Structure 1
Amino acid sequence: MPFRTLRMSEKDPWDRSRHDEPPGLDEVFNSIFGSGGSDKGPAAAISSLIMGLIIVTSLLFLVSGFFIVAPAEHGVVLRFGQLYRTAMPGPNWSIPIVDKRYIVDVFKVNEYTYTAEMLTKDEIYAEVSVSVYHRIGNPENYLFASVDPLNALTQATASALRQVVGNSNLNALLSKDRVEIREEISSQLKQILDSYKIGIEITDVKLQNARPPSAVKPAYDDVIQAREDQHRYTMQAEGYSNKVIGLAEGEKRRIINEADAQYERIILESKAKVATFDALVSQYKRNPDIMKNRMYLDTMEHIFSQVAKVFVPNEGMLNVLPLSDIISKESQAREKE
């Protein structure tokens, strides 16, 4: 079988030309970084590799320095351990490794409840609770001015609560004075925290119900019941007093009005009688006999009109039968029967 000569266009499986071999490392870097052909040697490839590593490292360094601060947060940036700046909401950048950043939520309101047993001003042992609502007002002071700001808040709350409760009676803690006491506790707590400068801002303070410890609760309940009984009896006594005084005042006014009316009536009747007498005097002077007879008849008419009677003539005399006495005796006899 004669040998056949291969053409250049046909592929020779035993051809080891460089076109079929994988490219070298220097060719790869030359194609990426544009260093030219492979005629510059291994030194050019190494320099290209180092340059690529520097560029990639620089990009990673720049990218790692970016951070986002949320709208409700503030960022604190330290440079070489010293306070450098406060990062506001939005995108920010700091130098990696050199700078250290802290993100703090300054709008979140946290609740803290403190409960303690203490003596009131009237020397009553009571258990008092207060709820404190607070947020971070100054991120720098909150992070670096105190080792434990929440513990400092606890101590400040205890100090303010004991100072106010120690100057207040238990009745004030249970009555309408609770609003004034709550405001006083809030004011005292804010003054203490301002002097501490720990970056915590008080938003609200709520005073919970004061109650006695469990060991003295039965005796305390008796005291409360006695106080309620006292209040009830006092109200009943005041109601009865107001009722009696009102009736007495009304009776007094009635008697005074009746006396005034009687006084006016007597005065008017006296004036009328005087006027009548004056009129009779003038008539009497003119006709004395006629006036005497008229006055006698008027008087007898007035007297006889007051009693029941019967006139019986008897030989020129006029006898009077007292019927009123007879009728009264008959009525009494019928009642006895």
Structure 2
Amino acid sequence: MAWNEPGNNNGNNGRDKDPWGNKDNRGGRDQGPPDLDEVFSKLSQKLGGKFGNKGGKGPSIGGGGAIGLGIIAAIAVAVWFFSGFYTIGEAERGVVLRLGKYDRIVDPGLNWRPAGIDTYEAVNVQAIRSLRGSGLMLTKDENVVTVGMDVQYRISDPYKYLYTVTNADDSLGQATDSALRAVIGDSLMDSILTSGRQQIRQSTQETLNDIIDSYDMGLTIVDVNFQSARPPEQVKDSFDDAIAAREDEERFEREAEAYRNDILPKATGRAERLKREALGYSERTINAAIGEVAQFEKLLPEYAAAPEVTRNRMYLDTMEKVYSNTSKVLIDSESSGNLLYLPIDKLAGKEGSSQSNRKSSSGSTYDQIELESKSNDQQSDSQSRTSGSRQGRY
């Protein structure tokens, strides 16, 4: 039931239920708010009773109330002071803002700030972060290739990392994609898939560093790894065949190089040996010719003094050398018919040795020896006839 509802007790129309504590209409204040001075007086008396005068008597605000307020204020100050302590990790740096404006960077350890005035944010400056970029890209020779790149970086300046750009990590991702597309756009597809990967990695890192320096992100690139480069799936088989053919070409070149390295020294050594043999033969031939010339020069005065005698002596010496290598026996047909001695045993021994030598030789060598033997026999016969006729004349 409402406090002013009709039918309340005592027939006072609910005045006994006045929430403001007004039980009558004196002063016309039955409809207005309570007296604020009276409210504060009651509150002061309660506080004074708790902290100063437990009996509720004495001064209302000048004594125990002031002490109580001081204690509350001291507690509040203590809470505010101790809440200002904070800790920065060993791998972190703290960026402190005072009333929203950059103030300083604090080192690891226990630090203090005025709560409600200074705020801070801890940033890990030693952790190595990773960012991956990839996608379909157009090459210089108008081919499409799928390229993946992994970027490792760390924070070098916490303030720039937090407040120079809106989101440094997202900005680095966009910069990586831009740098990679710029480098791939200046490269040929064959180079991207095979031998040019290291150059692409280096060029991408240099371009990315230039972008980071221009935007002043507070980041440092640690390493850039070229993860993958492959053609689109629609032409992958053809490119695999091309790569296999290129690898075969390189293998054949290596094999040819090894063969050349094996053959060339042998050929060089053989050519050097033949050259030295030719030089030796040349020296022997020249020396032999010089010896023959010297011998002829010694023989020339003798020939000039007695030409006929010298000719006969030379002829006989030559015949002696020729007949010493043959088994023929010459008989002068113009002799007186005296009995001649024939060395049958020596002739038989020479014939046996000649036959054994013929059997041990090859077919072609045997034919050659046979022809030479016949030629020597014919020459010996003609020379014997000539010698016989000359001996008859002598």
Q: TM-score, normalised by structure 1?
A: 0.76
1:72 aligns with 2:94: no
Question: For residues 10-38 of structure 1, what are the alpha-carbon distances to aligned partners after superposition, in whole Å with 9 as ceiling and x for unaligned?
Answer: xxxxxxxxxxxxxx9757634xxxx9998
1:111 aligns with 2:133: no
Q: CA deviation at 1:317?
A: 9.2
One-letter amino acid of the counterpart of residue 119, structure 1? L
1:219 aligns with 2:238: yes
One-letter amino acid of the counterpart of residue 52, structure 1? I
Q: Which residue does 2:51 correspond to in 1?
A: 29
Q: Which residue does 1:298 correspond to in 2?
A: 317
The 1-side partners of 2:244 and 2:196 are apart by: 21
Q: Which residue does 1:185 correspond to in 2?
A: 204
Which consecutive segments of 4 or more residues in structure 1 shift more than 6 A?
Answer: 35-39
Q: CA deviation at 1:83?
A: 1.4
Once the two structures are overlaid, the 10-residue window that deviates more, 194-203 or 271-280, is 194-203
User: For 1:125, which of 124, 144, 161 is the aligned residue?
Assistant: 144
Q: CA deviation at 1:238?
A: 4.6
From the superposition, tell whether residues 107 and 239 of structure 1 become closer, same or farther in structure 2 (CA, over 3 Å): closer
Q: Which residue does 1:85 correspond to in 2?
A: 104
Q: Specify the SS of the correspondent of 2:229.
A: coil
Question: For residues 53-89 of structure 1, what are the alpha-carbon distances to aligned partners after superposition, in whole Å with 9 as ceiling and x for unaligned?
Answer: 1111111111111211122111112222221222222
Q: CA deviation at 1:102?
A: 1.2
User: For 2:157, which of 138, 144, 148 is the aligned residue?
Assistant: 138
One-letter amino acid of the counterpart of residue 29, structure 1? F
Question: Within 5 Å, which residues of 2 pair with 1:1-337?
Answer: 26=48, 29-30=51-52, 40-43=58-61, 44-173=63-192, 177-239=196-258, 249-250=268-269, 252-305=271-324, 307-316=326-335
Q: Specify the SS of the correspondent of 2:330.
A: strand
Question: For residues 147-193 of structure 1, what are the alpha-carbon distances to aligned partners after superposition, in whole Å with 9 as ceiling and x for unaligned?
Answer: 22221111100111122222234454455654443232212111101
From the superposition, tell whether residues 92 and 239 of structure 1 become closer, same or farther in structure 2 (CA, over 3 Å): closer
Q: Specify the SS of the correspondent of 1:56.
A: helix
Aligned residue pairs total 303
What 5-or-longer segments of structure 1 have no aligned partner?
1-23
The 2-side partners of 1:108 and 1:213 are apart by: 36
Q: CA deviation at 1:268?
A: 0.9
From the superposition, tell whether residues 268 and 209 of structure 1 become closer, same or farther in structure 2 (CA, over 3 Å): same
From the superposition, tell whether residues 122 and 237 of structure 1 become closer, same or farther in structure 2 (CA, over 3 Å): farther
From the superposition, tell whether residues 251 and 281 of structure 1 become closer, same or farther in structure 2 (CA, over 3 Å): same
One-letter amino acid of the counterpart of residue 147, structure 1? T
Structure with the greater alpha carbon radius of gyration: 2
The answer to which structure has the higher strand fraction is 1
The 2-side partners of 1:237 and 1:156 are apart by: 46
| Aligned residues: CA RMSD | 3.7
The 1-side partners of 2:273 and 2:336 are apart by: 53
Q: Which residue does 1:18 correspond to in 2?
A: none
The 2-side partners of 1:122 and 1:303 are apart by: 87
Q: TM-score, normalised by structure 2?
A: 0.66
Once the two structures are overlaid, the 10-residue window that deviates more, 70-79 or 54-63, is 70-79
Q: Specify the SS of the correspondent of 2:70.
A: helix
From the superposition, tell whether residues 227 and 285 of structure 1 become closer, same or farther in structure 2 (CA, over 3 Å): same
From the superposition, tell whether residues 102 and 236 of structure 1 become closer, same or farther in structure 2 (CA, over 3 Å): closer
Q: Specify the SS of the correspondent of 1:209.
A: strand
The 1-side partners of 2:171 and 2:105 are apart by: 24
Q: CA deviation at 1:119?
A: 3.0
The 2-side partners of 1:190 and 1:292 are apart by: 105
Q: Percent identity?
A: 35
Once the two structures are overlaid, the 10-residue window that deviates more, 60-69 or 77-86, is 77-86
Q: CA deviation at 1:271?
A: 0.9
One-letter amino acid of the counterpart of residue 101, structure 1? Y
Q: CA deviation at 1:288?
A: 4.5
Question: For residues 82-113 of structure 1, what are the alpha-carbon distances to aligned partners after superposition, in whole Å with 9 as ceiling and x for unaligned?
Answer: 21222222222222222222111111111111
Once the two structures are overlaid, the 10-residue window that deviates more, 242-251 or 252-261, is 242-251
